[in-house]
Amino acid sequence: MTIFNRVTAAVLAAGLGLAIQTAAAQDKEPIRFGLCFDLSKSYTFISPQVAQAAQDLAKYTNDSGGIEGHPVEMIVRDHGNEPQRGVECYEQLKREGVFLFNFLSTPVTNAVLPRAMKDGNIVLQSFVGRGDAVDGEVFDWIFPVGPTYWQQAANDVAFIKNQVGGDLSDVKIGFIYLDYPFGQEPIEILKTLSEKEGFELKLYPVPLPGSDQASAWTQIRRDKPDYVISWLLAGGHVVASKEMKRNGFPIDRYLSVNWLNEVDINNIGAEAAKGILRGTNVAGGQEVPLVKTMLDTFYAKGEGSGPESLVRDVYYNTGLAIFSVGLEAARVAIEKNGSPLTPESVKAGFESIEDFDANGLMAPVTVTPEDHGGGGKTRVEQWDGSTWVPLTDWSADYTDVVWEVIKESSSKFTVE
């Protein structure tokens, strides 16, 4: 099958690694993904786009014959970012025969993870959850395909090192972050790299939801860091942009975590945001072949799974990336072991993914039994007033340092 436009299927499917079927998928057992998402509380700035992308991907896949004739189902439920509701969603879908899950929430993922490990069910944990879960030798059923926050932060430091000429010994790097687990995640990696490279690390915690940053930016004005790495979300970036202007901090020295999207840019102002930096896990924009295909097929005919405005958002691209990897794992599983699919065969499918980028949608990933993350590559982009311009190629840096921390953390994990 292909999830690309049929007219260019032969060319584009090769980039995604998908077999082409000519008839609509309908005669074999479905491949079912359980999407237990926060659709009502904390993560509504991203979850609708990701869910819509997943549903569009399934629809296009099925219209093109499914995966080796197997239709794809995306079952979307709301957990409100509440761990107990997430566990209930998992248990209910498990009873219905689902064994492929995504929770798009660190608290919920962490709550479900031990159960999935005991049950031998797969959690596709891309871009959220605990950073040490890339260790496939410990977390054998968890697949955080793509960079963790630890690796992204390390890549950000490498970018800054390159910008200052290759020597961080006299550099001061600030880290502004939401003072709860998401924001705190990169601190250990940043401290380790500070000791290794000799730069001064300054920490600036801000309380949830990120609307009160005045004291942090006052301190930044006094400390004068060369760069500020930001682990904020949504409106937090808008507040930060105002505080940067008020305190005279250059916006082109503000390097955001990947959670900075078109809505945030619009709220900051396209011209005011000019120069802002972000680390990213996926290619943004609508010229990416898979995104363009969705627009040219479903949305041109008013047949998309939601509003077209959500397609024009990097979080939609993120959703396509997450579930393209899941479909590729299923394809490889069927190719290698036939059907019906089992958790074991899909696990082997994931661990056989090699140099997969969904035709330019994301950094190439190679998943192995040892590395369930696929390499941890990101790139840095800069807003030029109208679009995001890549400043670097996809790369993963300080991987030895990151993996030392991963191994130290994963060695303490036990399934209770």
CB of 315 within 8 A of CB of 261? yes
pLDDT more than 70, % of the chain = 94
Per-residue model confidence (pLDDT) at position 15 = 39
Asked if pLDDT for residue 335 goes beyond 90, the answer is yes
CATH tag, 150-280+379-410: 3.40.50.2300
CB of 379 within 8 A of CB of 363? yes
Asked if pLDDT for residue 267 goes beyond 60, the answer is yes
CB of 37 within 8 A of CB of 26? no
Integer Cα distance of 59 and 74 in angstroms: 9
Per-residue model confidence (pLDDT) at position 129 = 85
Q: For 121-132, what is the mean pLDDT?
A: 92
Integer Cα distance of 345 and 336 in angstroms: 8
Asked if pLDDT for residue 22 goes beyond 80, the answer is no
Mean of per-residue pLDDT scores for the chain: 92
The answer to whether the pTM exceeds 0.85 is yes
pLDDT digits (tens, 9 = 90+) for 308-322: 999 999 999 999 999
Integer Cα distance of 33 and 73 in angstroms: 6
Tokens of 288: 């990416």
Domain boundaries along the sequence of the chain: 6-147+284-350, 150-280+379-410
What is the band of 416 on the pLDDT scale with cuts at 50, 70, 90? Answer: confident
Integer Cα distance of 196 and 292 in angstroms: 43
Give 262-329 as a DSSP string.
Answer: HHHHHHH-TTTTTT-EEEESB--SS-SHHHHHHHHTTGGGT-SSS-GGGTSSHHHHHHHHHHHHHHHH
Would you say the C-alpha torsion 275, 278, 281, 284 has a positive or negative sign? Answer: negative
CB of 228 within 8 A of CB of 202? no
Per-residue model confidence (pLDDT) at position 6 = 33
Give per-residue burial for 334-365: e unless 16+ CB within 10 Å, then b: beeeebebebebbbbbbbbbeebbbbebbbeb
CB of 116 within 8 A of CB of 346? no
Q: For 338-351, what is the mean pLDDT?
A: 96
Query: Which CATH superfamily hosts domain 6-147+284-350?
Result: Response regulator (3.40.50.2300)
Residue reference for tokens 């679009």: 387
Asked if pLDDT for residue 23 goes beyond 50, the answer is no
Asked if pLDDT for residue 111 goes beyond 60, the answer is yes
Q: DSSP state, 6?
A: G
User: What are the distances in angstroms from CA 289 to CA 19, 116, 133?
Assistant: 17, 34, 30
pLDDT more than 90, % of the chain = 88
Integer Cα distance of 201 and 289 in angstroms: 40
What is the band of 3 on the pLDDT scale with cuts at 50, 70, 90? Answer: very low
Per-residue model confidence (pLDDT) at position 2 = 35
What is the band of 20 on the pLDDT scale with cuts at 50, 70, 90? Answer: very low
Asked if pLDDT for residue 26 goes beyond 90, the answer is no
Residue reference for tokens 């590395």: 371
Integer Cα distance of 27 and 332 in angstroms: 20
CB atoms within 10 A of CB 114: 13
Per-residue model confidence (pLDDT) at position 13 = 45
Q: For 155-182, what is the mean pLDDT?
A: 96
Q: For 247-256, what is the mean pLDDT?
A: 98
What is the band of 193 on the pLDDT scale with cuts at 50, 70, 90? Answer: very high
Tokens of 88: 């209930």
Amino acid identity, residue 315?
A: Y
Asked if pLDDT for residue 19 goes beyond 70, the answer is no
